């Protein structure tokens, strides 16, 4: 399966949004590609794999394993690759996700007299790390240095934040408890979407399967959500997402997205 040309099945702009965007932005290289599968390596060391049959998956996994680090991170876009990876390497953490991408008209950034957006600096790193479910200060600091973390403020008070992961997916969306149900999440998302589009990239994210509150937000913003499931796989066992009841007293979904977007 020689590398160099993408297979035609990657024309699904929603399900393969991460692979398409990584290549289009020059942040990934093709390690192997053929009519039955493709393997990418992003600049941050994430392997992205998609195979249409078990034999293609076996070949791609073999290529992948020959060059990965001691703590590999993989996005498997098919059950064949995910099964082989699990059986051979025993990944401790497997997170099934729906892919969500904005392939139509983008919403305009919401403007509100009582709120403003700031690109967050390192003075907010500890606050973000404490609220983000992975509780990974080093990762948060790196994302802040990349200038992809946005905060919503009322005066000097931080209401919530959102950012982008190293491979480009939107994530780390969090609204502080006392400021939920005020439209802060939507406000944050529209400004980040605008930033991504201005960079010539595609806004996309990965929603942990079963989180309907995030699905509702994405649909409201005009995203299309895949019906198929991809899997984030890691040999590490980071702190599991907090168990939260994401509902308000009236039983409606709350404004808490920590467990909803990676």
| CATH code of 121's domain | 3.40.630.30
Identify whether residues 143 and 68 lie together within a single domain.
no
pLDDT of 246 > 90? The answer is no
Q: Is the dihedral angle over the CA atoms 77, 81, 83, 86 positive or is it negative?
A: negative
Average pLDDT on 84-90 reads 89
Residue 255 has a pLDDT of 52
List phi, psi (to 5°) of 195: -65, -45
Identify whether residues 120 and 218 lie together within a single domain.
yes
Average pLDDT on 2-31 reads 84
Say if CB 133 and CB 244 are below 8 A apart: no
Residue 258 has a pLDDT of 41
Say if CB 17 and CB 104 are below 8 A apart: no
DSSP alpha helices (H): ranges in 171-244? 184-198, 212-220
Residue 248 in tokens: 């308000």
Average pLDDT on 18-39 reads 93
Residue 254 has a pLDDT of 44
Confidence of residue 5 (pLDDT cuts 50, 70, 90): low
Q: Does any domain span residue 238?
A: no
Q: Does any domain span residue 58?
A: yes
Domain that holds residue 34: 8-91
pLDDT of 262 > 80? The answer is no
3-state class (DSSP) for residue 160: strand
Average pLDDT on 6-34 reads 90
Instruction: Return the residue matching tokens 């930033």.
Output: 195
Mean pLDDT over all residues of the chain?
87
pLDDT of 240 > 80? The answer is no
Confidence of residue 132 (pLDDT cuts 50, 70, 90): confident
Confidence of residue 261 (pLDDT cuts 50, 70, 90): low
Q: Does any domain span residue 179?
A: yes
Identify whether residues 122 and 184 lie together within a single domain.
yes
pLDDT of 238 > 50? The answer is no
Q: Does any domain span residue 181?
A: yes
pLDDT of 8 > 90? The answer is no
Identify whether residues 58 and 132 lie together within a single domain.
no
Confidence of residue 2 (pLDDT cuts 50, 70, 90): very low
Q: Which has the closest alpha carbon to 32: 56, 15, 8?
A: 56
pTM given for the model: 0.85
Average pLDDT on 219-236 reads 91
Burial 171-193 (b: 16+ CB within 10 A, else e): bbbbbbeebbebebbebbbbbbb
Q: Which residues are bridge partners to 99 per DSSP?
A: 206
Q: Does any domain span residue 260?
A: no
Residue 100 in tokens: 């969500």
Domain count, the chain: 2
């Amino acid at each position: 399966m020689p590398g160099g040309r993408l297979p035609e099945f990657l024309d699904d702009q929603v399900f393969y949004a991460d692979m398409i965007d990584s290549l289009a932005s020059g942040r990934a290289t093709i390690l192997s590609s053929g009519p039955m599968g493709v393997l990418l390596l992003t600049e941050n060391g994430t392997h992205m794999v998609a195979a249409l049959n078990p034999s293609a998956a076996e070949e791609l996994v073999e290529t992948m394993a020959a060059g990965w680090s001691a703590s590999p991170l993989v996005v498997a876009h098919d059950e064949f690759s995910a099964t082989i990876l699990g059986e051979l390497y025993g990944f401790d953490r497997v997170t099934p996700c729906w892919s969500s991408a904005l392939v139509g008209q983008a919403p305009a950034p919401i403007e509100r007299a009582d709120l403003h957006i700031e690109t967050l600096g390192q003075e907010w790193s500890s606050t973000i790390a404490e609220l983000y479910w992975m509780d990974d200060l080093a990762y948060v600091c790196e994302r802040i240095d990349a200038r992809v973390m946005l905060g919503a403020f009322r005066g000097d008070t931080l209401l919530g934040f959102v950012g982008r992961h190293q491979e480009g997916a939107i994530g780390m969306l969090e609204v502080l408890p006392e400021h939920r149900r005020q439209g802060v999440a939507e406000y944050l998302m529209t400004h980040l979407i605008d930033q991504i589009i201005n960079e010539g990239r595609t806004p996309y994210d990965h929603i942990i399967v079963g989180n309907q509150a995030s699905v509702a937000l994405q649909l409201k913003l005009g995203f299309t959500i895949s019906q198929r499931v991809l899997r984030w796989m890691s040999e590490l066992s980071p702190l599991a997402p907090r168990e939260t009841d994401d509902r308000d007293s009236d039983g409606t979904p709350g404004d808490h997205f920590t467990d909803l977007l990676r």
